[in-house]
């Protein structure tokens, strides 16, 4: 009987824990000013969010998308979301370099295929175990 109660309790706890999927919005500027961002991101590949003006575009590769997840256990939603956002931005920069481009423009959140365009914020989904960011952006040469 004790094993049955324990088993049911664990199933209910797991179901409740994995059901959380809160979507939060966080400051791009605050993230980019962190020491972790300074260490992680490539200063040679420029990033432009939302409708920020990047200047004259010399050539365009096209739109790319990245979807990154991270472990959110023992982290605040903000901490996990900032961490995974850096991972997503780094992936976009690496793709830009691979394709011979030097900037990513029109960066927008695309979490669960729902676009959120902002010059100042990004969206991140956070649950009990995982946090995730999906981004879209255009690779260009300035």
pLDDT tens by residue, the chain, 142 residues: 555 454 444 444 554 444 677 899 999 999 999 999 999 999 999 999 999 999 999 999 999 999 999 999 999 999 999 999 999 999 999 999 999 999 999 999 999 999 999 999 999 999 889 999 999 999 999 9
Q: What is the CA radius of gyration of the chain?
A: 18
Gap between the Cα atoms of 86 and 34, Å rounded: 10
The answer regarding whether domain 21-141 maps to CATH 1.10.10.60 reads no
The 8-class DSSP code of residue 63 comes to E
Domain residue extents for the chain: 21-141
Gap between the Cα atoms of 125 and 135, Å rounded: 12
């Amino acid at each position: 009987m004790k094993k049955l109660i324990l088993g049911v309790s664990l199933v209910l706890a797991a179901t409740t824990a994995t059901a959380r999927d809160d979507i939060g919005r966080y400051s791009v500027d605050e993230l980019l000013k962190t020491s972790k961002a300074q260490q992680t991101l490539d200063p040679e590949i420029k990033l432009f969010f939302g409708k920020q003006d990047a200047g004259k575009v010399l050539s365009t590769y096209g739109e790319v998308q990245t979807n990154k997840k991270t472990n959110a256990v023992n982290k605040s939603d903000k901490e996990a979301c900032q961490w995974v956002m850096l991972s997503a931005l780094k992936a976009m920069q690496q793709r830009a370099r691979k394709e011979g481009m030097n900037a990513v423009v029109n960066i927008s959140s695309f979490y669960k295929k729902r676009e959120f365009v902002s010059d100042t914020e990004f969206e991140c989904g956070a649950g009990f175990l995982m946090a995730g960011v999906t981004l879209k952006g255009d690779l260009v040469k300035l």
